[in-house]
Amino acid sequence: MWVARAEDGFLFGGLTGNYVDTLRAVPMLLESSDPRVRERLLPDTYDDPEEERQWRQHATPELERLFMSRCQLVRRDLAAMQQEPEAESFLLRIADGHVSAWLSSLNAARLALFALNDLTAEHMERDGSARVGSKQQEALLRIHFLAEVQGALLDDLDLVEPRDDATPPGA
């Protein structure tokens, strides 16, 4: 895989079979109804059960809506992937305006893969994949590949991009 900065976004090229499949799975992982995934993407926020119930009542639907709208952007970019001329690989273009959606969706996909494959913190270490089965090894490769994509986007991200809101925090 190679990455290039275009005028109004990022280009990811040299994407062959497994890479393309892994990227195409990102929205599906984010939408997974598996309880392990939902539990990680929508974690408990309060210790108190009644407070937690109220939190879930008002915060969860909003978060789900946000995840879905990010999925739509990611899906749109994936659908626009093009085969590179005279090559079997594909080219993905991520517009600057979609970077934030991609970053969080990639993170969600990595978390989902981790949860769905019963991976542990040890597996994430440098030589962690040596001690797991082939299915987990494949999941780890996918997690690390998605981290590469995330890293490429983060490396070039303007760290003073606008805040989520304009209210100064009290801390």
- List interacting residues with other proteins (CB under 8 A): 40-47, 55, 59, 62-63, 66, 103-104, 107-108, 110-111, 114, 120-121, 124, 143, 147, 150-151, 154, 157, 159-161, 163-165, 168-171
Nearest CA-CA partner of 119 in 105, 139, 134, 145: 139
User: Least distance from C-beta 59 to other proteins, angstroms?
Assistant: 5
Measured from the CB atom, the residue of 13 and 128 that comes closer to other proteins is 128
Measured from the CB atom, the residue of 8 and 164 that comes closer to other proteins is 164
Amino acid residing at 150: Q
Contact 98, 149 (CB under 8 A): no
User: Least distance from C-beta 136 to other proteins, angstroms?
Assistant: 14
User: Least distance from C-beta 94 to other proteins, angstroms?
Assistant: 16
Contact 55, 46 (CB under 8 A): yes
Measured from the CB atom, the residue of 20 and 157 that comes closer to other proteins is 157
User: Least distance from C-beta 37 to other proteins, angstroms?
Assistant: 11
Measured from the CB atom, the residue of 27 and 90 that comes closer to other proteins is 27
Q: How far apart are CA 68 and CA 122, in angstroms?
A: 31
Measured from the CB atom, the residue of 72 and 83 that comes closer to other proteins is 72
Contact 117, 62 (CB under 8 A): no
- Written as six digits, the tokens of 149 are 């994509």
Q: Which residues fall within 8 angstroms of residue 105, CB to CB, at 6 or more apart? A: 26, 27, 30, 70, 71, 74
User: Least distance from C-beta 88 to other proteins, angstroms?
Assistant: 30
Overall size of the chain counted in residues = 171
